[in-house]
Amino acid sequence: MPAPALSPSLKKISQQKTRVLLKAQVALTIAACVLTSCDRGMSKASSEESSTATSVAESVAAHPSTFVDSAHSTMAALVPSTEAEDTSLVGFYYSPSVVTVKDTITLRMEIPHGEYLAIMGPDSAMFFLSYPNPTEPRSWFLAQADSFAQMQTIRFRADVRSRPRVYGRDTLEAVFAKPGNYVLTVGHKLESEHASEIQTCTVRLGEKR
């Protein structure tokens, strides 16, 4: 038995309901797509950020850096020498014998000479201003050991800073910190029983003028 035909008014209402339902379904579908897209984007961004952070962390770990204040480094105390090389120079000379932290110390040496330059203060703390194959930054020394061994003249300010070879004192300190006698030593293999070519002088630090 065929279904009774809908009246025009009921048919119109049915069509309106169908349109509303279709619009609602389309809206829900669009919303679902948007949310899915956002989730994927956020997941991708999060993944990229995580990957970037990991790369940065790995880079830092692989290439650690040591911050050195160049204005207060050991090398900053080096004073350029304009003296011409004297091939007839024999021995070891220094000046002045009494200094303040405002003065410049000059060493003149027969070349080649030892690769070490060490200073021992009144408290027996040892500072190395030239040292072969150091683990510290290069700026923590006046010169590299192989270059220093060929220097006939080296000049540096008495306010030079270096790291003492004392356990627990791992930062740069003033070498000439208190009045008294300081022994400057140039030599080869100073830290071994085969030390040789040793030359020394004593400089006295006076009160500030």
pLDDT at 39: 47
Nearest 10 degrees: Cα torsion 25, 31, 36, 37: 130
CA distance linking residue 114 with residue 103, whole number of Å: 25
Strand pairing category for 180-188 and 116-120: antiparallel
pLDDT at 88: 81
Query: Token pair of 89, please?
Result: 């120079």
**Residues lower than pLDDT 70 in the chain:** 1-72, 208-209
The model carries a pTM of 0.65
Neighbours of 21 (CB within 10 A): 10
CA distance linking residue 144 with residue 88, whole number of Å: 25
CA distance linking residue 139 with residue 45, whole number of Å: 42
Q: Which residues of 51-79 are buried (b: 16+ CB within 10 A; e: fewer)?
A: eeeeeeeeeeeeeeeeebeeeebbbbbbe
Name the E strands within the chain: 78-79, 92-95, 98-99, 104-109, 116-120, 126-130, 153-157, 161-162, 173-174, 180-188, 196-205
Query: Token pair of 162, please?
Result: 């270096």
CA distance linking residue 182 with residue 101, whole number of Å: 13
pLDDT at 191: 86
pLDDT at 64: 40
Biggest alpha carbon distance in the chain?
Answer: 133
pLDDT at 5: 53
Give me the residues paired with residue 59 across strands. none
CATH top class, domain 70-205? mainly beta
pLDDT at 71: 61
pLDDT at 80: 87
